[in-house]
Structure 1
Amino acid sequence: MHIILNNLYCKMFFLNKIKTLFKKTIPLLEKVLQSKKETVAMISAISSAASAFFAWKSADISNRSFLQTQRPWISVEVSIGDKGIIINNDIMSVDLKFTLKNVGNVPALYSGINAAPEIGITSDKRIENLERKCQSKNIKHNQVDTIFPNEIREYDIIYTVLEKEKANNIMKSGMPYIGITLTGCATYASPNEEGKLHSSRFIYEIHQRYENGGTYQVKIPRNGEPIGGKNIVFDKWMEPGSFKAD
Structure 2
Amino acid sequence: MKILLLLVLSMVVVAREAAAQEVQCDRERAAMVESIRAYARRSQASVLGQRGLSERVLEAMGRTKRHLFIPERSCSIAYADRPASIGHGQTISQPFIVALMTELAEVTPDHVVLEVGTGSGYQAAILAHLARKVCTIEIVPSLAEAAAKTLKEFGYDNVSVRAGDGYAGWPECGPFDAIVVTAALGEVPSPLIEQLKVGGRLVMPVGSAYTSQQLTVVEKVAPDKTTTRAVAPVRFVPFTRSKD
Give the TM-score normalised by the residue count of structure 2. Answer: 0.26
Q: Of Structure 1 and Structure 2, which has the larger fraction of its residues in helix?
A: 2
Higher relative contact order (CA 8 A, sep 6+): 1
Highest Rg: 1 or 2?
Answer: 1
Q: Of Structure 1 and Structure 2, which has the larger fraction of its residues in strand?
A: 1
